[in-house]
Homo-oligomer: A and B are copies of this chain.
Amino acid sequence: MRGDDDCETRPFYLMTELTLPIRIVLIETSHPGNIGAVARAMKNMGLRELHLVNPREFPHSEAIARASGADDLLDSAVLHTSMQDAIADCGLVIGTSARQRHIPFVPIEPRECAQLVVNKARDGNPVALVFGTERTGLTNSELALCGHLVTIPTSDVYSSLNVAMAVQIIAYEVRLAAREAMPVHLREDPLASQADMERFYEHLQAVLAGTNFRDHTSSGHLMSRVRRLFNRALVDQNEMRILRGILTAVQENMK
């Protein structure tokens, strides 16, 4: 999957994991386990800067347990006594909110948010993504400190995202946005050529001609159905050898 193009993709990873100045700010988090789960969600997506405003309990063993190997982010977390302090050096501050709140903001969605975050961070602007308390989210005075509000689209009848789940979705979108314009190439087996495919269809027809197989399709276009099936599958060269091998073996064993 990676192989030869390792050298090309590494600079990308270096950039997204170490250089882009994007921080997650958690306000007055009640459950230390959630802080650990947020660290894990962030590290999976290559984000490293965790800022905590007045966490109820921190550090805490439950945070470490839920971080599951992302405890280096807990060790380097920056503690603040106010949201103002946590965002003081940021050029862009984005608040997060559940869908139903009556607030004087037109929220953006995570995908659009991620574009904005990555664009600004690439220009060297520190960016903060701010998450409120588990029970009540951001207060109106905290929202007033935000330039944008992001809302994750959720069900009409149940909207109750855990804070770490919300961080996970937004961090995932940030990762995808950071990766864009730098396509990563997946390595595949080379596909069978169209000439190979034609030889396979001829071979199959020869096998069928040796049987009493009748075309029962309504339109009588059996081979066109078979072609559609195999063309859709995008048969690779190795698979083609297997298919031809099967046909040859069957032929040798026919009456």
A residues apposed to B, CB below 8 Å: 1, 9-10, 13, 17, 37, 40-41, 43-46, 68-70, 99, 106-107, 111, 151-162, 164-165, 168-169, 172, 175-176, 179, 186, 188, 204, 207-208, 210-213, 216-217, 222, 225-226, 228-230, 232-235, 238-239, 241-243, 245-246, 249-250, 252-255
Cβ contact within 8 Å between B175 and A208: no
Q: A43-B160, A106-B186, A213-B250 are in contact. List 18 more A-B contacts (CB 8 A).
A: A17-B155, A40-B160, A40-B162, A40-B165, A43-B155, A44-B154, A45-B155, A70-B160, A106-B188, A111-B176, A169-B169, A208-B249, A210-B253, A211-B252, A213-B249, A226-B242, A229-B235, A250-B254
Cβ contact within 8 Å between A157 and B17: yes
A103 → B minimal CB distance (Å): 9
Of B69, B168, B230, which is within 8 A of A169 by CB?
Answer: B168
Q: How many angstroms from the CA of A151 to the CA of B1 in the assembled complex?
A: 10
Please indicate the chain B residues that have their CB under 8 angstroms from the CB of A175 in the complex. 153-154
Please indicate the chain B residues that have their CB under 8 angstroms from the CB of A245 in the complex. 213, 216
Of B41, B232, B242, B253, which is within 8 A of A212 by CB?
Answer: B253
Which 9 pairs across A and B sit closest by C-beta, in order of nearness?
A213-B249, A233-B233, A211-B249, A13-B156, A46-B155, A211-B253, A44-B154, A43-B158, A165-B168
